Amino acid sequence: MLATILHAAGDIRVEERPEPTILAPTDAIIRVTASCVCGSDLWPFRGADALIAPTAMGHEYVGVVEQVGSRVTTVKPGQFVIGSFFASDNTCPNCLAGYQTSCVHRQGVSGAQAELLRVPLADGTLVATPGMPEADLVPSLLTLSDVMGTGWFAAVAANVQPGGTVAVVGDGAVGLLGILSAKQMGAGRVIAMSRHASRQALAIEFGATDVVEERGDAGVARIKELTGGLGADSVLECVGTQESMMQAIRSARPGGHVGYVGVSHDVELPGLELFFSHVHLHGGPAPVRQYLPELIDLVWTRQIDPGKVFDQTLPLADAAAGYKAMDKRHAIKVLLRS
Amino acid sequence: MLATILHAAGDIRVEERPEPTILAPTDAIIRVTASCVCGSDLWPFRGADALIAPTAMGHEYVGVVEQVGSRVTTVKPGQFVIGSFFASDNTCPNCLAGYQTSCVHRQGVSGAQAELLRVPLADGTLVATPGMPEADLVPSLLTLSDVMGTGWFAAVAANVQPGGTVAVVGDGAVGLLGILSAKQMGAGRVIAMSRHASRQALAIEFGATDVVEERGDAGVARIKELTGGLGADSVLECVGTQESMMQAIRSARPGGHVGYVGVSHDVELPGLELFFSHVHLHGGPAPVRQYLPELIDLVWTRQIDPGKVFDQTLPLADAAAGYKAMDKRHAIKVLLRS
């Protein structure tokens, strides 16, 4: 089968690989309908994360169940399913508390940019849609595997409330879907921080009421200006750098909430500033499994259309071009059809 | 009048100073009944905080109103009052959100270890008791000015819930009153982290169900052992060092809450570890003004007795001995009678 392999920084190839097989009785094999390139895939692609060996890439996927292990009971061959980038048993105390990405039996899922994918802990990881989706729903369903669930968690972690004021740091796909999530949760004002025209347009389509082009201290000053000098009630941090984290913390009002979902890269939070900021801080790898039933319903009934973040679609064989387009920010997010 | 002045690290003296006067129409002058030495007073006493000039010490106080400015309407001469270590207007958006210590007109209160004290923004800062207190209630009422309100906020920030499991890092007066607070809020299990016999005894009297003597990684391992390998639902951080913050974060379960009230000293939180910890983090200078009405009622009706943290009482003139006793950890907390 075809699979996307990162051999070294900048060296990504789609090549023939052996088909995955059931290794544990709790595994499922799915035939991937669509996968995509994640902002976090760009870290190793750019050499920012160390690569020990050639790595099968991809952790966002939708597809049709091909085969299940002997102990899998909740999904069966022929069903269209969506799963998270972390496999979870969905029964341990951490899962039951809503933190499936801290499941005590957590396993990473990788190799989704391929024709077939092995998903561990299938019962706790995969959720079937009500039936086979219309073709135009596939992109939106695909986002639920990571990027939409992550934007949703950012908004939950930032305690977005009906009528509240929200600022979003980061105009990648996660930030844009954080805007959609905040809007869906009833936010009164949603301030997108973006300096790219095409992303600003999508931000507004998703519900942003204001756009701030400034970054860093100037961006914080603009957020304060827009919020009576106080800062936003909720700030979604969707980047993961020192600058973006501090911009988020400084943009929140005292007592406000920062939800951070950008995977931290060389971030050190200064204790004394955090202490006097009075912000609430919560985040981490989004427990997208928790949100799948609710978000599948919102997509299935066409109440939200997060698939709009895909501005480029390529056949799986052209995955390398997709990485390059996202690396250069020529594309917001690239969908790969298997 | 007598006042306590820090001249240099280790050089604390009680000496004659001019009496304070009304400077703004929103000021009040109170005759201090009792004040005390705070853990945070020890930072400059030990030279850990820079001292620019001789400083009038003390920010925890109860007393009788002596005089009020022309615009003060809610307290009047003769009333017994308690106030916070930060003066607040109690009307700005941050105050109304419950963060009086982030009041947009916030002013520090200092010089409380004296016979008389000027309190700015008296209407928003001082709360009168229902009448003149019995003498034995004075110590407990005094704690509401800072240390009890701070322990209470630590428990609020750590989201202590009925039946929940709570760990408390720090066995100073704030940590001990954090235990009392958690118990009062209905916590099912309260784990005190302490290696001092007298403090362990008071922790148990205040409601601790378990004592962990280990610190750092070993302390975290013990908390995990006591909580089914997961960590505590709520962790109160009442110290303010790098070690205590990391001990608190690592002792919380994924999705758990860390409430931190120890004033941060050289703390840098590692972003990636925080990200994968999945904890909620909230804290800062406690908005004790918010809690005064509720906590005055609990003390007045003798439902709680936080004054037990005072294990030494000295006349104001002997304040220097009080600093030394706390610095050497011979006393948990020293009350000064004016």
By CA distance, what is B229's nearest residue in A?
A104
Give B-chain residues touching A242 at CB under 8 angstroms.
271
Give B-chain residues touching A280 at CB under 8 angstroms.
280-282
- Helical residues (DSSP H) of chain A, grouped into ranges: 42-45, 93-96, 122-125, 138-143, 147-157, 173-184, 197-206, 216-226, 242-251, 271-277, 288-300, 319-327
Closest-CA residue to B174 (of B316, B336, B35, B40): B40
Distant-in-sequence, close-in-space partners of B297: CB < 8 Å, separation ≥ 6:
none
| Residues composing chain A | 338
Closest-CA residue to B60 (of B122, B108, B132): B108
Contact A275 B253 (CB under 8 A): no
Tell me the per-residue pLDDT of A173-192, one tens digit each, with 9 for 90 and over.
Answer: 999 999 999 999 999 999 99
Tell me the per-residue pLDDT of A110-126, one tens digit each, with 9 for 90 and over.
Answer: 999 999 999 999 999 99
Tell me the per-residue pLDDT of A79-117, one tens digit each, with 9 for 90 and over.
Answer: 999 999 999 999 999 999 999 999 999 999 999 999 999
Which stretches in chain B have pLDDT values below 50? none
Contact A228 B93 (CB under 8 A): yes
pLDDT value at A273 more than 90: yes
- CA A325 to chain B, closest CA, distance in angstroms equals 27
Closest-CA residue to A104 (of A84, A118, A121): A121
Name the band, by pLDDT with cuts 50, 70 and 90, for residue A37: very high
Nearest beta carbon to residue A268 from set B98, B270, B281: B270
pLDDT value at A258 more than 90: yes
Nearest beta carbon to residue A270 from set B93, B268, B274: B268
Q: What is the pLDDT of residue B51?
A: 82
Contact B268 A272 (CB under 8 A): no
d(CA B325, CA B172): 13
d(CA B81, CA B62): 6
Q: What is the mean pLDDT of residues A246-275?
A: 96
Nearest beta carbon to residue A268 from set B263, B271, B281: B271
Tell me the per-residue pLDDT of B4-51, one tens digit each, with 9 for 90 and over.
Answer: 999 999 999 999 999 999 999 999 999 999 999 998 899 899 988 778
Angle at B38 between CA B32 and CA B42, to 5 degrees: 130
Q: Three-state SS across A205-267?
A: HHCCCEEECCCHHHHHHHHHHHCCCCCEEEEEECCCCHHHHHHHHHHEEEEEEEEECCCCCCC
* Residue A86 contacts residue A41 (beta carbons within 8 Å): no
Contact B274 A264 (CB under 8 A): yes
Q: Residues in chain A whose beta carbon is closer than 8 A to a beta carbon of chain B?
A: 93-94, 97-99, 101-102, 104, 228-230, 240, 242, 245, 253-255, 260, 263-272, 274-285
Name the band, by pLDDT with cuts 50, 70 and 90, for residue A33: very high
The amino acid occupying position A298 is: L
Tell me the per-residue pLDDT of A193-214, one tens digit each, with 9 for 90 and over.
Answer: 999 999 999 999 999 999 999 9
Q: What is the pLDDT of residue A213?
A: 97
Strand partners, A315: A337
Residue A6 phi, psi (nearest 5)? -95, 115
Q: Which residues of B288-323 are buried (b: 16+ CB within 10 A; e: fewer)?
A: bbbbbeebbebbbeeebbbbbbbbbebebebbbebb
pLDDT value at A221 more than 90: yes
Q: What is the pLDDT of residue B264?
A: 87
Q: What is the pLDDT of residue A49?
A: 79
Give A-chain residues touching B274 at CB under 8 angstroms.
264, 269, 281, 284
Per the listing, tokens 């750098």 go with: A241
pTM of this structure: 0.96
Contact B271 A267 (CB under 8 A): yes
Give B-chain residues touching A49 at CB under 8 angstroms.
none
Cα A247 to Cα A212, A220, A282: the distances in Å are 12, 6, 15
* Residue B322 contacts residue B312 (beta carbons within 8 Å): yes
* Residue A94 contacts residue A84 (beta carbons within 8 Å): no
* Residue B160 contacts residue B234 (beta carbons within 8 Å): yes
Q: Using a pLDDT cut of 70, give the percent of chain A over it.
A: 100
Q: Residues in chain B whose beta carbon is closer than 8 A to a beta carbon of chain A?
A: 93-94, 97-99, 101-102, 104, 228-230, 240, 242, 245, 253-255, 260, 263-272, 274-285
pLDDT value at A318 more than 90: yes
Look at residue B61 and give its three-state secondary structure. Answer: strand
By CA distance, what is B256's nearest residue in A?
A97
d(CA A254, CA B97): 8
Give B-chain residues touching A260 at CB under 8 angstroms.
275
